Structure 1
């Protein structure tokens, strides 16, 4: 399904363009760990920074699992050092069918996981994030919700208004992930992943943004319903409720 931008809150075009660039021109990364034989899908604002601190150096700008699968079937996915740069050139010279077969086997055998978050809570976290210079000082929360509602899901920086489930499915809607945990029980779900991968490290608490008030207090009846309709797929699939 395609979506088109049909509305923009009454803000200057310059501001919207600069904000759209600054908030998503930062590190949004995909981790393919050959050490732990896993693929971590980073859905923004779901505790991803803490997980990356353990798994190591990221591979590519943030991709969903379907995109990762396609990349692994075509490109060298080891990073760092002259050896890997040389091997990347050699790998691209191999027959396409060979690369597809090797990449597909690797993708299928690696443990694929990520985390999701209550959509109402996640939208507040996006609004309050410090990386964009206190967005709340530049627009109201109601304006931000309207931008989330009407922005195009086909734009290059679609992370804020995209279903979280989209990060984990193929073009036919089939789930490619082996495990989808929840931000609300991050430590518990990370323990499950860690045991699966043979990792003994506890999850560090990086870049936490404590709030002065609960996310429920940001919403009125209208904005609550806007997010409920916008992210209905996530809410129903992952069993989320407002205020819980």
Structure 2
């Protein structure tokens, strides 16, 4: 998640949509007062421009860090709400932190991806550390299978951002969003945080039974409707 006071834009970071690569690219546009949330240390070397900054805040609406973690001296996780701003932060919480004036006057954008393709990418990401990877069909029965992307960039059932780009048209859509935000300097998007996939040549469609295809269609109706995706 990036909040640029310099350029008056807010980037809402979704999951499995090259969000880390987008942040790596647009960090170079940021100034010293902008909010840049951290992500995995392994990918920080690929970030262009400024690194994580200004993401720890005190705010009356910020969740409190659990007492037991304080007493045990456990570090705060970079992706957890208790630090303030964090990477996959929903629009409603960003609005609460920045206030109505900033929220309504800044240009807001996010990205999403064909949900059937994204689901396969999510499956590989969530099972990458397993010695024996479960089948896609079995994984889809788990609570962790659901990806809450549309809940990040929607508010009260309506689109909360000014521009919703497509992963499939990543660099062009990112530069379109930046131009609409008033940034005339184009950026290039690096390849970072790519989940290894030994089946990368396999079509995402081959993972699906008709029932699984319908399951994804039911889960992700909002983004399918917004961006016109089909199987």
Shift of 1:180: 0.4
Alignment CA distance shift 1:120-1:70 (3 Å): same
Q: What are structure 1's unaligned runs of at least 5 residues?
A: 1-29, 74-103, 152-157
Shift of 1:135: 4.5
Rg larger in 1 or in 2? 1
TM-score of the pair, normalised by structure 1 = 0.63
TM-score of the pair, normalised by structure 2 = 0.67
Alignment CA distance shift 1:126-1:136 (3 Å): farther
Q: How many Å separate the matches in 1 of 2:131 and 2:209?
A: 16
Q: How many Å separate the matches in 1 of 2:18 and 2:176?
A: 15
- Alignment of 1:193 onto 2:193: no
Does structure 2 retain, via aligned residues, the 8 Å contact 1:128–1:135? no
Which of 20, 25, 30 lines up with 1:49 in the alignment?
20
Q: How many Å separate the matches in 2 of 1:194 and 1:176?
A: 17
The aligned runs of 1:139-150 (5 Å cut-off) are 139-147=134-142
The aligned runs of 1:103-114 (5 Å cut-off) are 104-114=100-110
Q: How many Å separate the matches in 1 of 2:98 and 2:108?
A: 13
Q: How many Å separate the matches in 2 of 1:124 and 1:117?
A: 11
Alignment CA distance shift 1:135-1:226 (3 Å): farther
RMSD, matched Cα: 2.2
Q: How many Å separate the matches in 2 of 1:191 and 1:185?
A: 10
Q: How many Å separate the matches in 2 of 1:220 and 1:106?
A: 45
Does structure 1 retain, via aligned residues, the 8 Å contact 2:12–2:90? yes
Q: How many Å separate the matches in 2 of 1:226 and 1:135?
A: 24
Does structure 1 retain, via aligned residues, the 8 Å contact 2:26–2:187? no
- Alignment of 1:235 onto 2:210: no
Q: SS of the residue aligned with 2:201?
A: coil
Shift of 1:121: 0.6
Q: SS of the residue aligned with 2:25?
A: helix
Match of 2:162 in 1: 178
The alignment covers a number of residue pairs equal to 171
Which of 111, 115, 132 lines up with 2:111 in the alignment?
115
Q: How many Å separate the matches in 2 of 1:173 and 1:230?
A: 14
Q: SS of the residue aligned with 1:137?
A: coil
